[in-house]
Structure 1
Amino acid sequence: MNARKVVYLFFSTLLIGALSGAVVGIVIDPSTYFSGGFLNFLFGLIWILGISAAISLVAQMGYFAYLTLHRFALSLFKTTKLWNRVQIVLIAFVFFDLVYFRYTAFAEGTETILDYMVMPIIFLAFAGAVAYRKKIETNSQAFVPAFFFMFVVTTIEWLPALTVGTVNESKWLWIYITPLFVSNAWQLLLLHRLTKNSGPSLKKKPL
């Protein structure tokens, strides 16, 4: 992949992450942006775009870190099948942690563990949908690695927001997760398009 494609991947991911976070932030909390006049909206928009862009940078670092991990794991486990099984176990483990540990850390009053399952289930479903799309566009071996990346790696990137009590509100959790998830999905579904004419067959490069 040449420098022009790398630059395109970087800036397109930055833009899409920033815009997605800004849209969700405004939709979830419109009063913050529209209640104080034009200047309030302008400065609020610049702020949410900046925050979302910074979050998208975390997503980009996470993606290239996973690409390195993926290649290392394939050489370590020798077979794709074994590495996929390890990833499936880690997906289940992270889903459990995402529900249980947030429940034990933040649950108050009449809240039950079911209240803390809604967002992880939605997140898991969307991650599966993106991974399925990756599989359709490349090959069947891409599903598990793509699912692992979209769910586990995005959760790791999301971890600072999940562990800070001041953002344990639905609004802030969505504002943090949206640019991460959208940026990761964009990178995952774009990379094989950028590299399809510059390397070996996609059947040998599921990510």
Structure 2
Amino acid sequence: MNLKKLFFLFWSCMALGAVVCTLLGLMLQFTDQSFGFLKADEIGYNVFNMAVSGLMIGVFSQLGFFAYLTASYIALSIFRRKFLWTTLQGYSSAFAVFALGYMLYGERDKLSDWLYWVLPLALFIGSILVAFVKVKQTNKSAFVSTVFLMFVVTVLEAWPSINGDETNAVSVFFMITPLFICNAYQILLLHRLVGNSKQEADSATITKSANSAS
């Protein structure tokens, strides 16, 4: 890993966030005329605001992604055995699915009557699919860590939209979708950047390789 590769990951993730938010915002604007940006209902949701918000979400996704890699590196140093850290991530991912559904169920009057089961299920299925792609590109050791990143970290990153005072189903959907896509892009690209496509590709090992190569 070098500065050139880090810069590529940085700007490409931001660009992806901008594109996803722009397309998603336009779709929401056409399907829901009351959908506004920063409460500016009188001017609507214009393309510039969509792109800027996407850039910010892309940066936020990167912060969460590298925070997770750092946490994985520290956890592996503490546990000493990768199996223990992998097991903890697996149990945490399973618990987070039910915890998210329970939390959304308590907010169903403010959100919707379907979000409390649709969002955890869709996010979990999406995380599994991304993990299968990661395993196909690397090896089986990357499965659990990828699911943890795609579900738990994405939910933590999107928490302000989920638990906000004026949150709604549309705002949750608008926030969590680009975060999920940006996180998937980063985890599927990182092993190529550090040259570990068929080696130990779990997050902690990738972080060690990136640190030693820089």
Query: What TM bracket, shorter-length normalisation?
Result: 0.7 to 0.9
Alignment pair present for 1:181 and 2:180:
yes
Give unpaired runs (5+ residues) of structure 2.
35-42, 204-214
Equivalent position of 1:37 in the other structure: none
Equivalent position of 1:206 in the other structure: 202
For these two proteins, the number of residue pairs brought into alignment is 193
> In the TM superposition, what are the counterparts of 1:53-202 in structure 2 within 5 Å?
53-104=55-106, 106-108=107-109, 115-169=115-169, 171-196=170-195, 202=198
Change (3 A) 1:68 1:24: same
Measure how far apart 1:206 and its partner are.
2.4
Query: Greater share of helix residues, 1 or 2?
Result: 1
Residues 25, 50 of structure 2: 8 Å contact kept:
yes
SS across alignment from 2:4: helix
What is the letter of the counterpart of residue 184 of structure 1? N
SS across alignment from 2:202: coil
Measure how far apart 1:29 and its partner are.
2.3
Residues 17, 178 of structure 2: 8 Å contact kept:
yes
CA distance in 1, matches of 2:56, 2:16: 12
The runs of at least 4 consecutive aligned structure 1 residues that moved more than 3 Å come to none
CA distance in 1, matches of 2:47, 2:33: 10
Residues 52, 176 of structure 1: 8 Å contact kept:
no
Measure how far apart 1:202 and its partner are.
4.6
TM-score, scaled to structure 1:
0.86
Alignment pair present for 1:47 and 2:49:
yes
Measure how far apart 1:201 and its partner are.
7.4
CA distance in 2, matches of 1:107, 1:64: 32
Alignment pair present for 1:23 and 2:15:
no
CA distance in 2, matches of 1:115, 1:158: 15
TM-score, scaled to structure 2:
0.83
The CA deviation string for residues 22-62 of structure 1, in whole angstroms up to 9 with x for no partner, is: 111211221659xxxxxx68x70000111121111110001
CA distance in 1, matches of 2:190, 2:124: 22
Residues 134, 142 of structure 1: 8 Å contact kept:
yes
The CA deviation string for residues 88-123 of structure 1, in whole angstroms up to 9 with x for no partner, is: 11112211221111211x2239x76x6511111001
* Greater relative CO, 1 or 2 (CA 8 Å, sep 6+): 1
CA distance in 1, matches of 2:148, 2:160: 19
Supply the RMSD in Å over aligned alpha carbons.
2.1
What is the letter of the counterpart of residue 168 of structure 2? N
CA distance in 2, matches of 1:11, 1:159: 24
